[in-house]
Amino acid sequence: MPIAESVKLDSEEEAEFEADAKEDQVACPQGQMPDVDNKNAQTTDPTTPSQAFTNKSPKKGKGRQPCKRRTWNEGEVLAVEKHLMAFITTCRVPGKADCDKCLKREPVALRNRNWLAVKFYVKNRITALKNKA
């Protein structure tokens, strides 16, 4: 097909599209969207594209988010060592039940820690002992 004919067809298709678009337009009061039921109609979503991204978080499959690292103070360390030192010396990582017992027995000292924090503290202590040896 010659180039002149393809340009002619493109301009004819464009004119046809514009005519269809004019037919689809509906007169509405200012500020309202028309309620149109056709394949070319856009959804009447009140959010702008920038709002759509802020309202919905993208699903990237990140899993859980990391928490800010907090150093263990002397009272917390003593409380964990008092109840879980046997795990450290035998190089065994405590389970959830063991960590929960420790938290229940030392509620004041460990009020800002959860069972996972206690578990990983013991695990890191075991790893540090193994690295020294």
> Model pTM?
0.52
How far, in Å, CA of 30 to CA of 78, rounded? 70
The neighbour count for residue 113, using CB atoms within 10 Å, is 19
H or E stretch covering 53: helix 49-55
> Mind listing the pLDDT tens digit for each residue in 16-67?
555 555 444 444 455 555 555 555 555 555 555 555 555 555 566 678 878 7
CA dihedral 8, 11, 15, 20 (to 10 degrees): 100
> Mind listing the pLDDT tens digit for each residue in 75-120?
999 999 999 999 999 999 999 999 999 999 999 999 999 999 999 9
Q: Token digits for 2?
A: 């010659």
